[in-house]
Amino acid sequence: MSVIIDGNKIAQDIRRSVREETLVFKEKTGIVPGLAVVLVGEDPASQVYVGRKAKACAEVGFLSREYKLPADTSEEELLRLINDLNHDQFIHGILVQLPLPRQIATDKIIAAIDPHKDVDGFNPYNVGGLVTGSPLFVPCTPRGIMELIARTGITLSGKDAVVVGRSNIVGKPIALLLLAQNATVTICHSKTKDLPAVTSRADVLIAAVGKARMITADMVKEGAVVIDVGVNRLDNGKLAGDVAFDEVAAKAGYITPVPGGVGPMTIAMLMKNTLDAAKMTR
The footprint of ligand GUN (CB under 6 A) covers: 95-98, 120, 140-141, 169, 266
DSSP 8-class letter at 113: S
Of 220 and 277, nearer to ligand GUN (C-beta) is 277
Amino acid at 232: N
Cβ 267 to ligand GUN, closest distance in Å? 9
Of 114 and 120, nearer to ligand GUN (C-beta) is 120
Cα 171 from Cα 22, distance rounded (Å)? 31
Q: What residues contact 203, with CB distance under 8 A and at least 6 apart?
A: 154, 159, 160, 161, 221, 224, 225
Cα 282 from Cα 89, distance rounded (Å)? 12
Provide the sign of the torsion angle of the four alpha carbons 187, 190, 195, 196, taken in this order: positive
Cα 58 from Cα 12, distance rounded (Å)? 14
Of 113 and 243, nearer to ligand GUN (C-beta) is 113
Q: Annotated catalytic, 97?
A: yes
Cis upstream peptide for 259 (omega within 30°): yes
Instruction: Output the CA–CA distances (angstroms, integers) from residue 237 to 26, 52, 164, 234, in the order listed.
Output: 43, 20, 25, 5
DSSP 8-class letter at 220: S
Query: Could you give the dihedral angle defined by the CA atoms of residues 239, 218, 144 and 129, in that order, rounded to the nearest 10 degrees?
Result: -130
Cβ 169 to ligand GUN, closest distance in Å? 5
Which of 53, 159, 172, 221 is labelled catalytic?
53
Cβ 262 to ligand GUN, closest distance in Å? 11
Residue 250, Cβ neighbours under 10 Å: how many? Answer: 12
Cβ 266 to ligand GUN, closest distance in Å? 6
Cβ 190 to ligand GUN, closest distance in Å? 20
Of 156 and 269, nearer to ligand GUN (C-beta) is 269
Cα 103 from Cα 280, distance rounded (Å)? 33
Cβ 49 to ligand GUN, closest distance in Å? 7
Q: Annotated catalytic, 120?
A: yes
Beta bridge partners of 57: none
Which of 114, 120, 203, 242 is labelled catalytic?
120
Of 26 and 65, nearer to ligand GUN (C-beta) is 65
Closest residue (Cβ) to ligand GUN? 98
Q: Give the closest residue to 239 by CA, choosing from 264, 269, 221, 220.
A: 264
Of 122 and 254, nearer to ligand GUN (C-beta) is 122
> Which residues are catalytic, by number?
53, 97, 120
